[in-house]
Amino acid sequence: MNSPRELTPLFNPKSIAVVGASADPAKVSSRPLKFLLEHGYQGRIYPINPKATEIMGLKCYPSLGAVPEEIDLVSIIVPAQAVVGALEDCAAKGVKAVSIITSGFAELGPQGRALQERIREIARQHNIALSGPNSVGMHNFKTKAIASISQLFERKDLLVGPIAFISQSGAFGTAICALAQAEKIGFTYFVSSGNEADLELADYIDYVVDDPQIKVISGYVEGIKDGSKFMAAADRALEAGKPIIMVKVGRFGAGARAASSHTGSMAGSDQVYGAAFKQTGVIRAFDVQELLDYSSIFALGQARRGENAAIISTSGGAGVLMADKCEELGLTVKELGESTKAELLKILPAFSAVGNPVDVTGQFLSMPGAIKGCIEILDRDEQVDVIILFLALVWSQWEQIANDISNAARNTGKPVVVCWVGAPQGALDILRANGVVNYPEPVRCVKAVHALLSYGRMREHIIEGRLTSAVFLEPKVKEGPETLSAAEIDRIKARLSDIRRAGRTMLTEKESKDILQAYDIPVTREKLARDADQAVALAEEIGWPVAMKVSSPDIPHKTEAKAIALNLTGPDQVRVAFDKIWQNAWSYNKEAVIDGVLVQEMLKPGTEVIVGMSKDAQFGPVLMFGLGGVLVEIMRDVSLRVCPISSFDAETMINEIKGAKLLQGFRGAAPADLDSIKEILLRLSRLALDLQDYVSEIDINPLVVYEKGHGAKAGDALISVL
């Protein structure tokens, strides 16, 4: 992995060479040189083509080796089979960064994948920061360093702004850039990451986080290769207060898969991405318009914690619509205080509604400075976190109004966000020049405000939560139970290895609970019986009532096999149950290896929840929490977090499920022992990390939770091995 410092030649090159440069305007390979010259790049430019001596007025070199000076960035646009040779020339020349635009690699199948692996090896061996292949290249809007073939750069008047945009789709990414330009949203960097043979999304994020001119990181994402690397980069962005806004596609279909446990079936791919985003403060946009709207508000405004919105509107209907949307998204539109109302009525007509929304009516046009005065009054109200202004077809006096809004916004300590429908272009230019964001439609405006405030709250909560935990970047010191000794962990791993060598993919309930118990996760008291007499003796020892279940690695779902009996209260019932369980197990699977019958304490009634772990291909171990029993199948009301988790993560997992009210004490019921659940989640996170190379899934269902102070116990457990 390259460090952020090593990517400077890629993002801010002082010299650029184009391998495969062409003088033929009909060829794509002519574009990078054309764009560099037309946009006025001030660095050195070197066309590389053995068939030409001059291209576009520039001296053309037959090879990279023939260039007398050092080269920061090389853009490669030659046929795929020639790329390896071109990259080897870069290595020999000591080139620091390469952008490969050429396609024909992993996207084409096994042969292309082998070729892509070869260029990756060369880049890593020679410490070359390699972007691509199969991309449209990169662009620094500020320095005009263009290593791109996109037609976007046919435009000469591209806006510059404090946004870094990273896209895993080249054509779609540049289309988004074009739409942003049309909406007067400027970028500093555009990166088409392509196949990500070497550098990936996380590397680009890691670099731009340290760039003081970048305020927002936006992206179009199809997949993340290294989940932990991405989360580390996103953590740095969160700490720096630079929001990451992502459109992540592939929400449906890919996440659906068959699994042997409830946990596996609940933790689909997209849900895991959602969990990772929540843990690192990434804002998810669900379409391109949201991506641009959110990017725009963060580029012009400072994220602020809060949830109370005040709405000023020239239309009562629009005010109601915006108030409804605010409350739908979780913002509050509180009635303004009496002193604030009294101040507003001093500058507004007596018939104005000043409760919130503040309806200034069309009469405000005859009252110069009314809008500015309203903003200033609401700024002084400590109960107001953000001021939203709606103007409907206000075309007269637009210059004064735009200047009044700008002046008021400049002097307020709160975000002022405008929705000016059909605004004159001159008014929009004034607002934009003064850092005031405008939206042409009310719902888009409110959604952007919600993103601004929710990010501020989310960032503060995450950082505060982590500060109360141990160091969160180091999995082994995450808050939670003391780590088992290396010898104890090795013994568990050895046992799991033996099970794998025996061809088994699942542990029995007893084996699973033994591992949970090693990590101090409470389980039922239980022992294994080989005959009915032994079962009776164990029941007497454990205490009545008891439950009995078949113990077999070949029968993971005991209820389906009718190999379970509950609430047994005496020796006769135990003997009958033992024989029936054994008989039903054989009938269910005549090939099954039966270890015996598990005799365990019958847990008292409590609230049943499910806790589990599933191994995700990108992010590794992922924890799942939800209501237990059949409710998890019917409602699918679960929350996920990527390991390692902090105490804050565990708490939010519990609180964000819809069924949280059942645990908090519903209709007079005593609250459940939430601290016990939190501790179990932390212990399970530790277990999952320690054994991640051995265990694929863990399913604790039900985990029976008792009243506050009385703990919880695993009633059943199932562990699957890799």
Greater pLDDT, 579 or 465: 579
CA neighbor of 284 nearest in space, from 220, 232, 342: 220
The pLDDT of residue 471 is above 60: no
- Write the CA distances from 22 to 58, 299, 414, integer angstroms: 11, 38, 53
461 confidence band (pLDDT: 50, 70, 90): confident
State the Cα angle at 408 between 403 and 412, rounded to 5°.
150
Question: Shortest CA distance to 636 belongs to which of 628, 644, 646?
Answer: 628
The predicted-structure confidence for 336-350, as pLDDT tens digits, reads as follows 999 999 999 999 888
Residue 473's pLDDT is what? 36
The reported pLDDT for the residue numbered 257 is: 40
Q: Hey, which CATH number is domain 525-602, 3.30.420.40, 3.40.50.300, 3.30.1380.20, 3.30.1490.20?
A: 3.30.1490.20
Q: Is the per-residue pLDDT at 267 higher than 50?
A: no
- pLDDT higher than threshold 80 for residue 669: yes
Helix (H) or strand (E) holding 406: helix 398-411
Cβ neighbour number for residue 579 with a 10 Å cutoff:
14
Confidence of residue 520 (pLDDT cuts 50, 70, 90): very high
Task: Please say if the pLDDT value at position 182 is more than 70.
Answer: yes
Summarised one tens digit per residue, pLDDT across range 302-319 is 777 889 999 999 999 999
CB 235 within 8 A of CB 202: no
pLDDT at 467: 67
pLDDT of 4 reads 42
Q: What is the dihedral of CA 23, 26, 27, 31, to 10 degrees?
A: 70
Q: Is the pLDDT of residue 268 over 70?
A: no
Average pLDDT over residues 626-639: 76
Mean pLDDT score across all residues of the chain? 91
Q: How confident is the model at residue 486 (pLDDT cuts 50, 70, 90)?
A: very high
- Number of Cβ within a 10 Å radius of residue 328: 12
Domain-wise residue ranges, the chain? 4-214, 304-436, 525-602, 607-721
CA pair distance 140, 19, nearest whole angstrom: 19
- 505 to 129, 463, 555, 601: CA distances (angstroms): 41, 39, 12, 27
Q: Tell me what the mean pLDDT of segment 204-226 comes to.
A: 96
Give the pLDDT confidence score for residue 345 in this predicted structure. 92
Query: What is the helix (H) or strand (E) element at residue 572, kind and residue range?
Result: helix 571-588
Amino acid 477: pLDDT:
37
* Per-residue model confidence as pLDDT tens digits over 356-392: 999 987 777 777 788 999 999 999 999 999 999 999 8
Domains 4-214 and 525-602 share a fold: no
Q: Which CATH number fits domain 607-721: 2.40.30.30, 1.10.3720.10, 3.30.70.100, 3.30.470.20?
A: 3.30.470.20
pTM of the model: 0.90
pLDDT in tens, 568-620: 999 999 999 999 999 999 999 999 999 999 999 999 999 999 999 999 999 99
**Residue 600 phi/psi, 5° resolution?**
-140, 160
Amino acid in the structure at residue 261? S
* DSSP state letters, 357-397: SEE--GGGGGSTTHHHHHHHHHHH-TT-SEEEEEEES--TT
Mean pLDDT of 48-66: 97
Local structure of 418: helix, strand or coil: strand
Q: Which pLDDT belongs to residue 60?
A: 98
What proportion of the chain, given as a percentage, has pLDDT over 70? Answer: 93
Rounded alpha-carbon distances, angstroms, from residue 710 to 295, 522, 604, 606, 659:
48, 12, 12, 10, 20
Whole-angstrom distance between the N-terminal and C-terminal Cα of the chain? Answer: 28
pLDDT at residue 300 is higher than 50: yes
pLDDT score of 469: 54
Instruction: Collapse the DSSP code of 344 into the 3-class scheme (helix H, G, I; strand E, B; otherwise coil) and give the result.
Output: helix
DSSP 287: S
Whole-number pLDDT of residue 481:
52
Domain covering 4-214 in this structure, CATH number: 3.40.50.720
Average pLDDT, integer, range 449-476 = 73
Q: What are phi and psi of 165, to 5 degrees?
A: -115, 125
Confidence class for position 281, pLDDT limits 50, 70, 90: very high
Residue 3 pLDDT more than 60? no
* Span 304-436 CATH architecture: 3-Layer(aba) Sandwich (3.40)
Residue 634 burial (C-beta neighbours within 10 Å; 0-12, 13-18, 19+): exposed
What is the pLDDT at residue 254? 40
Residue 6's pLDDT is what? 85
Reported confidence tier of residue 629, pLDDT bands at 50, 70, 90: low
At 453, which helix (H) or strand (E)?
helix 442-467
pLDDT attached to residue 632: 64
Give 684's contacts (C-beta < 8 A, 6+ positions apart).
Answer: 519, 521, 611, 613, 623, 698, 700
pLDDT tens digits, one per residue of 402-432: 999 999 999 998 999 999 999 999 999 999 9
